[in-house]
Amino acid sequence: MTTNLSILDGATTIGGTKILLQSDEKEIFLDFGKNFKKESRFYEEYLKPRPSRGIHDYLTLELLPRLNIYRKDLIPSDINKKTLKNADLDGVLVSHAHMDHVGYIGLLKKEIPVFSSAMSAVLLKAIQDSGRSTGCSEVAYTKPREKTGKQNRILKTKHWRKSPTSGRDFFIPTNPSEELLNFWQTTPGGRNHEAGKLKKCKEKNKPFHFESFEVSHSIFGATAYCIETEEGWIAYTGDLRFHGKNKQKTEKFVQEASKINPKILITEGTRTGRDEIENKTEENVYKNCLAATEEENGLVIADFSPRNFERLETFLKISQKTGRELVVTTKDAYILESLSRVNEEDLTSDVKIYKDLSAWKRRDKWEKQILEKFEEQTVDPKEIDRNPGSYLLCFSFWDMKNLLDINPEGGRYIYSTSEAFSEEQKLDVERLWNWLQYFNLEAIGFGVKKENNQTKLEFKSGYHCSGHATPEQLFEMIDTIDPGTVIPVHTENPEFFKKNLTTRNVEILKDGNKITVK
């Protein structure tokens, strides 16, 4: 029996991970993510792949592998199916719910199951429930399309009264609670819903035997895997770090992986080659952001990555310590409530919910449900305007328009998210700076300088920490696990591993490369 490992995407980029593991009888993907760097060559915020053309645009621009693994209802008639290589995919092992790892799963055949942590399953459904429906976003359940036009080249969503949404099967490590099953089996839209299975993963459900290990990352439910093949074990880190509330889980994965003598370790390398002086932790972030909040009597705004609920917990502690109310958006509240089905802590009872000035009839059903259920916890912008020092507001750049209704006169904006790396991100931060200048909000964590008519962004460390391990921590992890071969992914600098791990066998693969497990 032969086992092959192919890196179809994400070999030399941070994200877009698509790793195909094939034996003579079984095939699985390790993640199936959206490659934001490749997409940005053609698309931006207001220029997107056309929903009416299904997977056509993705295939044409080589954003998807040309395999016969996609939903039939997303394949328009002018795609020659004979050009799609035959594949019989048995499942996707999901490391975590960031879009660069799961963003294209919605395009896969609905019959292809997902294996993940319970937390990732809930996050993926909650994000889909509260977001805009596109083919890519339909990970937990799909809205069926039909072909239209004289030549069946145009796709449209079937009428909501006639065609139910249809769920994908998810397998998780533990038996789901009744409350979790109820959440899984319903959707907030008007369509009827035929839910997919959500059940404990038994050995008979696994295409390959594997063990899953939750690890620390900047999103709850992140998972690493050890997969057994005929030729030996393969370990996959997903994205991980060695700090935060779940750092012991990362350490446990490393110890367990070291016991199986893996043939191959597929490791992330996000921070390799970056010029970083210090390795900040969540505890550092708490102390620095607490000090910044205590020094301000007016409004404080905290900006952190979407779905980074550990950072939200940090700011919740800060709000309680400083006598402020933590205010979140309706979308954050919906996802927080969803997480309570698998999380021991229900954070929704500890926060206020910002009620923006939108017409009720224009709100989606999920948002109406949140505002009705937590009506006593909602806060109007005028309430914040009257007493800004009583609130810690969780807003990002995309929420700045709502400040026009609060109209703060000074205050602080704590930038607790990653630096801007792409040109598009830098433009967004420059626009954010303009908003802060308009409202006389002091920026904490970043600044803007003008030099020779050029804008220069400066980011200050200590208010954000990475969701990824340092190079030194990765090397220590590799030494402990002691694999036969190291394959770096999720990095723009894979050669960094070869240069620094001179005594180890490091395989540098490009997108599309395949190796045989020996």
What pLDDT, in 10s, does the model give residues 63-115?
999 999 999 999 999 999 999 999 999 999 999 999 999 999 999 999 999 99
Same domain flag for 57 and 115: yes
Same domain flag for 168 and 304: no
Same domain flag for 196 and 260: no
Residue 359: predicted pLDDT:
87
Beta-carbon count within 10 A of 516 CB: 9
Residue 487's domain comprises 1-12+208-276+466-518
Same domain flag for 297 and 445: yes
Beta-carbon count within 10 A of 133 CB: 17
* 3-class state of residue 413 by DSSP: strand
User: Which CATH number does the domain housing residue 518 bear?
Assistant: 3.60.15.10
Show the tokens assigned to 357.
């000035």
Same domain flag for 158 and 227: no
Q: Which residue, 204, 222, 255, sits at the end of a domain?
A: 204
Residue 419: predicted pLDDT:
83
Residue 277: predicted pLDDT:
59
Same domain flag for 111 and 141: yes
Q: Is residue 315 part of a domain?
A: yes
Residue 194: predicted pLDDT:
94
Q: Is the pLDDT of residue 451 over 90?
A: no
Same domain flag for 167 and 222: no
How far is Cα 142 from Cα 107, in angstroms, rounded to an integer? 9
Q: Is residue 18 part of a domain?
A: no
Q: Is the pLDDT of residue 356 over 70?
A: yes
Same domain flag for 405 and 363: yes
Q: Is residue 517 part of a domain?
A: yes
Q: What is the pTM of this model?
A: 0.95
Residues 252-261 have a mean pLDDT of 98
Same domain flag for 216 and 191: no
Query: Directed axis angle between helix 365-373 and helix 330-339, to 10°?
Result: 80
Dump pLDDT digits (tens) for 378-394.
999 999 999 999 999 99
Same domain flag for 405 and 482: no
Provide the pLDDT confidence category of residue 160 given band limits of 50, 70 and 90.
confident
How far is Cα 401 from Cα 105, in angstroms, rounded to an integer? 32
Domain total in the chain: 3
Residues facing 167 on adjacent strands: 141
Same domain flag for 450 and 325: yes
Q: Is residue 228 part of a domain?
A: yes
Q: Is residue 17 part of a domain?
A: no
Q: Is residue 79 part of a domain?
A: no
Same domain flag for 187 and 269: no
User: Which CATH number does the domain housing residue 323 bear?
Assistant: 3.40.50.10710
Q: Give the lowest-confidence range in 86-95, 195-204, 356-365.
A: 356-365
Burial 447-469 (b: 16+ CB within 10 A, else e): ebeeeeeeeeeeeeebbbbbbbb
Beta-carbon count within 10 A of 129 CB: 23
How far is Cα 37 from Cα 423, in angstroms, rounded to an integer? 11
324 neighbors 290 (Cβ within 8 angstroms): no
Q: Which residue, 160, 176, 204, sits at the end of a domain?
A: 204
Q: Is residue 19 part of a domain?
A: no
